[in-house]
Structure 1
């Protein structure tokens, strides 16, 4: 709502303070370095999305979206088509999360950009917003999403309560962050932005069982979060309202999802003064983030001269909470049934890294269904036993560390430990490396010249008058 009549008192409520941050940022803009950071995330989302065109999740969701009528207002990445804004957000959010190559916030263990950026791009394109306005909205939406995730992080437990309960915090919190971004771009005032978030809090959903036992529905979670966020903002613009205590209330967001372990104070800690945004980790590899340190440990041993043909035993140490995702059940992780399952396997990813991998270390070619059946990889994966490591437990979930111990035929043991994930603040990806990741993502989709033009367009969004050129280039 953009009117001046007050519907409820937001003073002092969590959603009221988050909405005030959104309204203030729309008026004054993000600091330049944060706009640049979000532009890098836009580039990452576009590359991940273009790489996912042939994934079953992308084909299924796009097929359904084509049957939904409405104004052709925003681009479906790689589809050659335009859809209503909420539908485009659904398609593009599904694409953005389908290759498991989207960024990660720690310790909330959220992938915020995969839902918020598609929502912001869809509404930004539909409304003719400037690049800077889209970056401001996406930046605030990402910040809100990860702060809500932090509200469910239990320091004593050392893990996300969302995760402990089998809930996909990425999609649950992403719906609310997407609503804030969409509401900003639709021009809603602080009260309307609060309503949009309050509505989206009823829409957030997602279960993590697919990580353990399969199914492609998880890939659609971020699409549904983006769709829910845009829809919630449209509902708020039309007059639907949300509860003022939607975050902290007895039947509100945090208590409903996380129970007594929820911590509202973390959502508001230094709000507007400290930004979580620049500390969010880019993923160099298109597989579950818990596997990345093991991949890098294998690469370290290769650089030290280890011959994979001499390996007779591999011990992979990771944080205890990680085991159920990448190591259990052991037989299934040693011989994943598909390329998608392989992306969630510690033994498989370590084996691929030892055999050379592709891309920046391992790449999309390592996670095809054909690669999942590769005899050499499976032979090496069967040598891997996984266990919890005390030092990794101490570091997790501020990093996803790993230690790799390998015994060779001569009886010698070789060890490599990775405490800081590649792509995070302590081990960042440069612009050139991020562009390389984008180029690898789109090498079968765009010519080298077109790929470079898209990269320049995404990184140049702070000065762009609109999204038209960029989205036309990725629409296909």
Structure 2
């Protein structure tokens, strides 16, 4: 008898993802997954509001999409704007990644929530979905995203092949994660979700040169991934189909991006029973995650009594694969061109932390036009040399590690080593710290009372009849 379902033995990876996703929607999620999703949404919403207060590229994206017009389907966090769902996802995804404050999955080293959550919010509002439907979509989309990222991690490289090739895994994999989430909220069947993934595989992109030498385009990567994911799901809903072998095929995703090298076991083993998404960690500092252990080291030395004016030289030891992002080219890193570029500088972030920082140690107030030209900060950054550290390299990318050695005027050599940065696997942020991060971010645009009400609305998502309260609570003052 033909049941209309592909036999299990013949299932392709994309069909397995689709089956898993539909089960997330149609069956109860584990309690720990629901709790994790609620935290992801809270973090993204806070990052979006702070990103809106920051201005810059996200405002430019909003200015670009407003004239596109179309049916108002979904809101833009921090505004009263209502746009077509793909456009809203584009703006909110850009906002989510604007400050480089978004969460990170290890060891794939990608930021899943900044693409998946904005796509899910847009599709959920368009369809009037319940909070439980939204949570299921975020959970499934995030898992698909990080599984694709995990498949790119090759032990012989000790790194993701995406990053070795200068590709932005966050936006490439995030497009498929976003499509998964949107497809579930659009009510697509297993075949429909598979088609959405097949379509989305032709839409993901992103190169990382902006991390090294500047440019604002990287902040749009997550927005474009969210936009493309929602668009792919809408196309699948309308009848556009994708190839069933879109991931593993001769001209498929893995061949196109990774030269056919990928870990098939990491892709699918334990799918539905082992949740890779739970290994995603939150950022305490609004900078590239590779800088976080360095910030921790600098803060620890300062807390121990180190006077930054007493420093003659400093050596920052980091994993070799991270040096290309936060240490090279040196001239660009000791004198960053823009506040955003400074977030990707080991020397600048170390100098910032040694001088005291803000927020939870280093905060958004430390990356401004004023701090960028602060003579004391720049002079201290110029004293920092970045080198490869074997121990940190052995740990990477299961955690972010670093060592900071400082020589003082008296000739003393001070050292502090961190094997897992704050917020990482060895030192995760508590719920109270996550809520404090949200409050700091949200109150850049909202009143304290509005921020509390919005946090409460996110906390109630699993039982909320719809998601509209998120946007009415987040329109700004």
Query: Displacement, 1:8?
Result: 11
Query: Displacement, 1:194?
Result: 0.4
Q: Deviations over 1:46-81 (max 9, x none)?
A: 111111114321011101110112111110111221
Aligned match of 2:11: 12
Query: Displacement, 1:143?
Result: 0.6
Q: Deviations over 1:91-150 (max 9, x none)?
A: 100000011000001111110000000000111111111111101100110010010011
Aligned match of 2:185: 185
Larger mean Cα displacement after TM superposition, 360-369 or 454-463: 454-463
Kept in 1: contact 2:49–2:444 (CA 8 A): no
Kept in 1: contact 2:152–2:261 (CA 8 A): yes
Q: Write the distance in 2 (CA, Å) between the matches of 1:66 and 1:376.
A: 42
State yes or no: 1:42 paired with 2:41. yes
State yes or no: 1:88 paired with 2:84. no
Q: Write the distance in 2 (CA, Å) between the matches of 1:293 and 1:9.
A: 45
Aligned match of 1:264: 264
Aligned match of 2:313: 313
Aligned match of 2:457: 457
Q: Write the distance in 2 (CA, Å) between the matches of 1:6 and 1:110.
A: 33
Q: Deviations over 1:203-225 (max 9, x none)?
A: 00001011111110000000000
Aligned match of 1:62: 62
- Tell me the secondary structure at the aligned position of residue 178 of structure 2: helix
Kept in 1: contact 2:399–2:425 (CA 8 A): no
CA 1:268–1:6 in 2, change beyond 3 Å: closer, same or farther? closer
Q: Write the distance in 2 (CA, Å) between the matches of 1:378 and 1:43.
A: 35
CA 1:368–1:151 in 2, change beyond 3 Å: closer, same or farther? same
Alpha-carbon RMSD: 1.4
Query: Displacement, 1:5?
Result: 6.0
- Tell me the secondary structure at the aligned position of residue 52 of structure 1: helix
Report how many residues are paired: 473
Query: Displacement, 1:6?
Result: 6.8
Aligned match of 2:365: 365
State yes or no: 1:295 paired with 2:295. yes
Q: Write the distance in 2 (CA, Å) between the matches of 1:19 and 1:248.
A: 15
- Tell me the secondary structure at the aligned position of residue 104 of structure 2: coil
Aligned match of 1:117: 117
Q: Write the distance in 2 (CA, Å) between the matches of 1:5 and 1:17.
A: 15
Q: Write the distance in 1 (CA, Å) between the matches of 2:190 and 2:9.
A: 9
Kept in 1: contact 2:24–2:139 (CA 8 A): no
Q: Write the distance in 2 (CA, Å) between the matches of 1:24 and 1:439.
A: 34
Q: Write the distance in 2 (CA, Å) between the matches of 1:290 and 1:378.
A: 20
Aligned match of 2:348: 348
Q: Deviations over 1:140-185 (max 9, x none)?
A: 1001001001111111111111111111010000000100000001
Q: Write the distance in 2 (CA, Å) between the matches of 1:142 and 1:260.
A: 23
Aligned match of 1:151: 151
Q: Write the distance in 2 (CA, Å) between the matches of 1:176 and 1:41.
A: 18
Aligned match of 1:136: 136
Query: Displacement, 1:260?
Result: 3.4
- Tell me the secondary structure at the aligned position of residue 68 of structure 2: coil
Query: Displacement, 1:9?
Result: 9.6
Query: Displacement, 1:444?
Result: 2.5
Aligned match of 2:401: 401
Query: Displacement, 1:343?
Result: 0.5
Kept in 2: contact 1:116–1:226 (CA 8 A): yes
Aligned match of 2:206: 206
Q: Deviations over 1:17-53 (max 9, x none)?
A: 1100001111103111111111111111011111111
Kept in 1: contact 2:214–2:338 (CA 8 A): no
Query: Displacement, 1:358?
Result: 0.3
Q: Deviations over 1:246-281 (max 9, x none)?
A: 111111111110013222222102111110111101
Kept in 2: contact 1:334–1:345 (CA 8 A): yes
Larger mean Cα displacement after TM superposition, 90-99 or 63-72: 63-72
Aligned match of 1:390: 390
Kept in 1: contact 2:334–2:348 (CA 8 A): yes
Kept in 2: contact 1:151–1:254 (CA 8 A): no
Query: Displacement, 1:431?
Result: 1.4
Query: Displacement, 1:426?
Result: 2.0
Q: Write the distance in 2 (CA, Å) between the matches of 1:41 and 1:470.
A: 14
Aligned match of 1:381: 381
Q: Write the distance in 2 (CA, Å) between the matches of 1:333 and 1:262.
A: 33
Kept in 2: contact 1:171–1:225 (CA 8 A): yes
CA 1:443–1:203 in 2, change beyond 3 Å: closer, same or farther? same
List structure 1 runs of 4+ shifted beyond 4 angstroms.
4-10
- Tell me the secondary structure at the aligned position of residue 337 of structure 2: coil
Kept in 1: contact 2:25–2:133 (CA 8 A): yes
State yes or no: 1:21 paired with 2:20. yes
> 1:166-245, aligned counterparts within 5 Å?
166-245=166-245
Kept in 1: contact 2:315–2:386 (CA 8 A): yes
Q: Which runs of 5+ in 1 are unaligned?
A: none
Aligned match of 2:328: 328
Aligned match of 2:106: 106
Q: Which runs of 5+ in 2 are unaligned?
A: none
Kept in 2: contact 1:10–1:16 (CA 8 A): no
Query: Displacement, 1:187?
Result: 0.5
- Tell me the secondary structure at the aligned position of residue 387 of structure 1: strand
TM score, norm. by length of structure 2? 0.97
Aligned match of 2:415: 415
Q: Write the distance in 1 (CA, Å) between the matches of 2:241 and 2:424.
A: 38
Query: Displacement, 1:7?
Result: 9.7
